Amino acid sequence: MKPKILLTGATGFIGKRLLYKLDQSGYRVRCLVRSSEKLALALPVENEPEIVYGDILKPETLDGALEGIETAYYLVHSMGGRSPRKFLEFETRDRKAAQNFITAADNAGIKRIIYLGGLGDVGDKLSHHLASRQEVGRILQSGRCKTTILRAAVIIGAGGAGFEIIRYLVERLPVLLCPKWVYTMNQPIAVENVMDYLQGCMENPDTAGMSLDIGGPQILGYADLMRIYAKTRGLKRLIIGVPFFSTRLSSYWVNLITPLPAGIVFALAEGLRNEAVCRENHIREMVPANLLPMDQAICNALAEEQSGPGAISRQSCFLSESLKNA
């Protein structure tokens, strides 16, 4: 029998897909959630997962939840809230959460953690969000267990925050007068390939303790990604970069057009100035995957809303439950 895996963030964009993926591969999964109601909205699985209550910001809820586990996925962040002024509060929460988790993991004797963080170079004047994702990785690597860090740019899939921002902008505006970040280089990746890598890392012990960049087959600007989205949807869109449009102003602009919580929009928009391109590709030898081009990834994201895990976001017009409630 395959070992039981602990899945944090199981109600989120990445976590709920990984739950299906692991289930289909015969793994038994224990989901650590703050609300089991959010999980109940998901599609049926082969093997009912074990659901335990745990709030990573409340260490007293973690000890029992991690018992008997060798490998845990850390797929949690706490960006959110409705106030642009308070958007930086996530940094403190995410630091605390990672510290609580690694302490509980060490106490429970967990051997491996697999964490999905963000791409971005430290010397690059990183946004608060990307710097915080890297800090979380360092904290998770400071324990006794071996932590694998996967670093990704925007992930293309229904309900993903970065993808939904692109989708709302292109769907709603025939002419997009964009800040200069539309030319920042990025290496987006299809959510299906992120799943391949998350599972593949667990199955390849050589990845334990490593930090690995993951990206799709194309390096492009956000303007290119928007054009691919528009073409896939058969929409005619004019995208023009305006140099004097500041990051701050553009955050308010994106916040106005998209219904995502301001706390997420402001954190992500600030990072759009940072290049997010893989600096190494060791993952491609360690975990082979058939990398999807972006037009295919976008088609899949749109189709998945009808029949895959993305179906959960249908009623709410694009938005996943997790984002809606953030």
Pattern 282-321, ligand NAP, x by CB under 6 A: --------------------------------------x-
> At its nearest, how many Å lie between ligand NAP and the CB of residue 65?
10
> At its nearest, how many Å lie between ligand NAP and the CB of residue 153?
7
Q: Directed axis angle between helix 247-257 and helix 161-172, to 10°?
A: 80
DSSP per-residue string spanning 65-117: GGTT-SEEEE-------S-GGGTTHHHHHHHHHHHHHHHHHHHHT--EEEEEE
Among 38, 98, 149, 271, the residue binding ligand NAP under the rule CB under 6 A is 38
What's the order of all strands across the beta sheet hosting 211-214? 50-53, 28-33, 4-8, 71-74, 112-118, 146-152, 211-214
The answer to whether 164 touches 260, Cβ cutoff 8 Å, is yes
> Is 155 strand, coil or helix?
strand
Using the minimum distance from each CB to ligand NAP, give the nearer residue, 186 or 251.
186
* Residue 322 interacting with ligand NAP (CB under 6 A): yes
> At its nearest, how many Å lie between ligand NAP and the CB of residue 194?
8
Quote the CA–CA distance of 306 and 170 in Å, as a whole number.
20
Among 55, 70, 121, 275, the residue binding ligand NAP under the rule CB under 6 A is 55
> At its nearest, how many Å lie between ligand NAP and the CB of residue 295?
18
Among 15, 49, 81, 310, the residue binding ligand NAP under the rule CB under 6 A is 15
> Is 55 strand, coil or helix?
coil
Question: Which candidate, 303, 273, 291, 254, places its Cα nearest to that of 182?
Answer: 273
Among 6, 76, 166, 220, the residue binding ligand NAP under the rule CB under 6 A is 76
Using the minimum distance from each CB to ligand NAP, give the nearer residue, 138 or 177.
138
Helix (H) or strand (E) holding 137: helix 128-140
Question: Which candidate, 89, 9, 22, 82, places its Cα nearest to that of 49?
Answer: 22
Sign of CA dihedral 165, 167, 171, 174: positive
> At its nearest, how many Å lie between ligand NAP and the CB of residue 243?
27
Size of the site for ligand NAP (CB under 6 A): 31
Using the minimum distance from each CB to ligand NAP, give the nearer residue, 164 or 224.
164
DSSP per-residue string spanning 204-232: -GGGTT-EEEE--S--EEHHHHHHHHHHH
* Residue 9 interacting with ligand NAP (CB under 6 A): yes
Name the residue number minimizing CB distance to ligand NAP. 12
Residue 56 DSSP code: T
Phi then psi for residue 151, to 5 deg, are -115, 120
Using the minimum distance from each CB to ligand NAP, give the nearer residue, 8 or 274.
8
Tell me how far CA of residue 84 lies from CA of 160, 271, 325, in angstroms: 20, 15, 16
> At its nearest, how many Å lie between ligand NAP and the CB of residue 55?
5
Identify residues 94-133 at the interface with ligand NAP (CB under 6 A): 97, 116-118, 133
Identify residues 132-171 at the interface with ligand NAP (CB under 6 A): 133, 152, 154-155, 160-162
* Binding region for ligand NAP (CB under 6 A) out of 4-12, 140-148, 277-285, 290-298: 4-12
Quote the CA–CA distance of 165 and 269 in Å, as a whole number.
9
Quote the CA–CA distance of 279 and 261 in Å, as a whole number.
31
Among 21, 30, 77, 112, the residue binding ligand NAP under the rule CB under 6 A is 77
Among 78, 134, 207, 258, the residue binding ligand NAP under the rule CB under 6 A is 78
Residues near ligand NAP (CB under 6 A): 8-9, 11-15, 34-35, 38, 55-57, 75-78, 97, 116-118, 133, 152, 154-155, 160-162, 320, 322-323
